[in-house]
Structure 1
Amino acid sequence: MKSTRITKYIIIASMPVLLVSCFSAKEYVQSDEAVLPEGTATYRTDQLSQDSLSMAEVSWRELFTDPVLTQYIERGLENNIDIRVALQQIVAAEAYAKQAKAGYFPTLSANARYTHQELAKNSPMSAFMGSSQDQYELTGNLAWEIDVWGKIRSNKRAFQASYLQTVAAHQVVKTRLIANIASVYYQLLTVDEQIAVTQETVATRRNSLETTKALMEAGTVTQVGVKQTEAQLYTAEAILVDLKNQAFLLENSLSILLGESPNNKERGTLEEQQITTELVAGVPAQLLANRPDVIAAELQLRQTFELTNVARSNFYPALTLSAGGGFQSLEFDQLFSANSLFANLVGGLAQPILNGRKIRTQYEVAKVQQEQARLNFKQAVLTASKEVSDAMFTFNTASEKIAIKQKEYDAYALAAEYSQELLNNGLANYLEVLRAQENVLNTNLDLVNAKNRQLQSVIDLYAALGGGWK
């Protein structure tokens, strides 16, 4: 049979126009949680600058001046496994975002089919068509959903927010990685300094032990004094063993951050570390512009908001247009004949009525997820302000503690020197010397820790302000 079949179904489009007033996709408005109150109360500090410049705007290359450290950060950003995983997540999210943009366009499919049919001899059709039949078809189908309720638009925006969220998540990883590399590097320098202090103390106590033995032979001190001096030497040697073990573990940790197998790490010294960047936090509103985790939390809120729009639109009828056409023939050589051409156009309006409450459940779950995202966003903003406050206060207290510990160390060092001279002249008790030497070591180790704490607070402040990823 050779014929042209053209079927048209015409719909009345007035109903969607009337219903559009009942629902339209809502526009996202930035949550109140996004605005931090202006003023120093946000950070509990009077160190906030009203200048628009913030530490977060400073490149990590300017903040960290140690050439070895900057080299490590560059290697970490290139090789770290977490960074590479985050980049792959961006690629996947970008693919979904591209798919969402294509939602406005119709779908097109093509199909080529050959059918061979053997008919029963007693079949009524065999009397007209014979015992067998061949049919050739070449068809195409076009389908398009009209975005009356903003469903496709909201879905596209949701995927865009998801993509931007993965970008922000990648920036979070970069910030944390830079901070972690700098933190471990400074800890390693701190342990190196403490090892040097302890090695010097071991050498001093060996000399003290020899001096104490000589004083025992002279009758100035007893065997008890010698053994206590000897025990003090062993205490320092045990501290040295622990410090060397800590340095070894820190080298391994730094290697992993750099995406490398554990190995020895070149490094500078603690005394060489200089922070020349002015510690300026900027105004509270800048926090949101730089903190990638806060940005990611808001984008998550925006995504759930748009998905709630999508879920709401499912309550309303879907307006679709579809068209199909092609060539159909019983003879292959007549397949592309004008008489083999057929086409159809179908318009549809599908309204969900009873579907086991699935649509309402999806909508209710979407609203719950949106509320969860809003609370997570609020928590991210509060956490960000806390971290800035903690880091700035810790830096100030660490600076004060360094000055105090330096005075304490100078006093103990002088006391140890005087007590040793008095003991050598038989004018002091050996216990006073032991106590003075113990205080010198502990205070010196504390002083090094205070310097490290100051450097760590700079890193914490830089990360808390959203720096590091630019």
Structure 2
Amino acid sequence: MNTFVTRVLVATSLLWLGGCTTMGPDYQRPEIDTPQSWQIPVEKTAVIANESWWKLFEDPILDGLIQTALENNRDLRIAAARLREFAARVDIARSGFYPNVGYGAGASRIQTSRNALGGPPDGVSRTGSDYNLNVGVGWELDLWGKIQRSSEAARADLLAAEHGRRALVLSLVSGVASAYIELLSLDQQLVIAQDTLKRRAETVDLFKTQFEGGVVSKLEVAQARAEYETTAILIPAIERQIRITEYNLAVILGRNPGPIARSTAIGKLALPQVPADIPSQVLLQRPDILQAEQNLVAANALIGVARAAYFPSISLTGLLGLASAELSTLLDGASGVWNAGAAVAGPIFSGGALDARLRVAESVQQQLLQSYLLTIQRAFADVDKALVSVRKLNEILAASERQVQALKDYAKYAKDRYDEGYVSYIEVLDAERSLFDAELEYTKRQGASYAALIEVYKAMGGGWVDAAEALANQVDFPERADEQRRWWDVLTRQPYE
């Protein structure tokens, strides 16, 4: 027994050590043409892209909403569960490096035919028992690197899932901040509309009184009423949009639809700086780019799995156990049984399936390569578009503020001249209508300016995603022990070389 087992192990080990190779190409990061700077220059400021930028708005309600979203958002919970799934898949893939050890036990009672060939003679019992207890071992030698490539692909899938979750954190924080800014903008629009409606209601009442006294005509009364109703139409429309935005934000927060608290007006909200002095290469650490790269790593590894399928699989097998016809003698040394061997299995003809699977793997890798490069290009475009929006919207906002002030003067002068009898009330209505529209547009542009700044932080990514993810991890992975956390950090944070 020992001689046979030794020969088998020595032969297969020599074959393994002498012929072990890894099929498929090793991953190499593609050459990336990254611009050295953004298309739109920004003033030199403190680098704040790595901070929890939403705190710079100095709004504790917003801080609390983002914290709540990171704790309760359902999509983030789904992503966390998906992460645990892919972590388990890594363990499954890595298990192929080790032998499989199993056990078996059995007991049976049988009766044979006395009339069958080889049946027991008369006087000998036709019934008997059989008992067995064994341990089996099986081990597939990874001669062609199939298990190694499968493990590499599983690890890349895990990293892609992790970066996908971080991309969700990025979108989640930005989405909550943008929705909150939109609510503040709508609140201010509602205040403007309600104040304007109140003034126009007073004008309608005044004109009705003056009409009864013969001071104004029906035409002027009708004009005042028309302006009143025009404003009245806007108020429920704005209120509807406020409710819809609140309900959408509530779902993001993991709550049932309901009202959202606000602590300030949009005009009193602090305005953070635009992050500057950040090299464009930092953008390559954006979660969606890292996720696209890990998808490419996985596809690259699966080419090796497809190529390894052309070669035979070699497995070592063994069994050690006990077998006896009597339970009382099952543990006797004479009941021992064993076997050991090696098995080879490989393809001869597959109807072209192996070639097709290899072509599929290579084609998928090429698709994901182009997707990776396209993701990078889009990321740079996102940043430049966001920077353009911040600069130009700020210019528009400044001009809009000047326009509002000019229209306030226009409305005042028109009212004065109307009171003095130099112009008709049409001049006053025109001035007030223009002022009302300009005030609404100014408020909308305020919200757009804040939203564009949020988009800059979202487009650039940065270290703030790690801070936000740490908040989410406190809820998603409370069961991780320190040792598990260290293992997780090594697995998911170490860059692929």
Do Structure 1 and Structure 2 share a fold, with TM-score over 0.5? Answer: yes
| TM-score, with length taken from structure 2 | 0.86
The one-letter code sitting in structure 2 at the alignment partner of 1:111 is G
- RMSD of the TM alignment (CA)? 2.4
Matching residue within 165, 172, 183 for 1:188? 183
1:337–1:121 CA distance, 2 compared to 1 (3 A): same
8 Å Cα contact 2:25/2:303 also seen in 1: no
| Shift in Å, 1:424 | 1.2
Matching residue within 82, 97, 122 for 2:90? 97
8 Å Cα contact 1:197/1:444 also seen in 2: yes
| Shift in Å, 1:25 | 4.2
The one-letter code sitting in structure 2 at the alignment partner of 1:98 is D
The one-letter code sitting in structure 2 at the alignment partner of 1:273 is L
The one-letter code sitting in structure 1 at the alignment partner of 2:27 is Y
2:71 maps to 1:78: yes
Match of 2:476 in 1: none
1:153–1:48 CA distance, 2 compared to 1 (3 A): farther
Match of 2:267 in 1: 271
Q: Aligned pair count?
A: 459
8 Å Cα contact 1:199/1:240 also seen in 2: yes
1:271–1:447 CA distance, 2 compared to 1 (3 A): same
| Shift in Å, 1:358 | 2.6
SS in 2 for 1:469: helix
The one-letter code sitting in structure 1 at the alignment partner of 2:271 is I
Match of 2:27 in 1: 28
Match of 1:401 in 2: 396
Match of 2:81 in 1: 88
8 Å Cα contact 2:59/2:269 also seen in 1: yes
Equivalent residues in 2 for 1:175-254, closer than 5 Å: 175-213=170-208, 216=211, 221-254=216-249
2:456 maps to 1:457: no
1:103–1:275 CA distance, 2 compared to 1 (3 A): farther
1:47–1:109 CA distance, 2 compared to 1 (3 A): same
Distance 1:251 1:218 in 2: 48
| Shift in Å, 1:176 | 1.2
8 Å Cα contact 1:55/1:465 also seen in 2: no
Match of 1:300 in 2: 295
Distance 1:193 1:74 in 2: 25
| Shift in Å, 1:221 | 4.1
2:439 maps to 1:440: no
Matching residue within 159, 166, 170 for 2:161? 166
8 Å Cα contact 2:36/2:281 also seen in 1: no
Distance 2:358 2:77 in 1: 36
SS in 1 for 2:77: helix
| Shift in Å, 1:285 | 0.9
Matching residue within 17, 35, 38 for 1:38? 35
Match of 2:367 in 1: 372
SS in 2 for 1:347: strand
Q: Deviations over 1:211-256 (max 9, x none)?
A: 4445556766421122111110111111112111111222211211
SS in 1 for 2:109: strand
SS in 1 for 2:65: helix
| Shift in Å, 1:419 | 0.6
Equivalent residues in 2 for 1:130-141, closer than 5 Å: 130-141=125-136
Match of 1:68 in 2: 61
Distance 1:106 1:18 in 2: 20
Distance 2:48 2:365 in 1: 33
1:162–1:281 CA distance, 2 compared to 1 (3 A): farther
The one-letter code sitting in structure 2 at the alignment partner of 1:31 is P
| Shift in Å, 1:276 | 3.0
Distance 2:54 2:204 in 1: 49
| Shift in Å, 1:462 | 1.0
8 Å Cα contact 1:7/1:344 also seen in 2: no
| Shift in Å, 1:327 | 0.7
8 Å Cα contact 2:113/2:126 also seen in 1: yes
| Shift in Å, 1:94 | 1.0
Gaps of 5+ in 2: 467-497
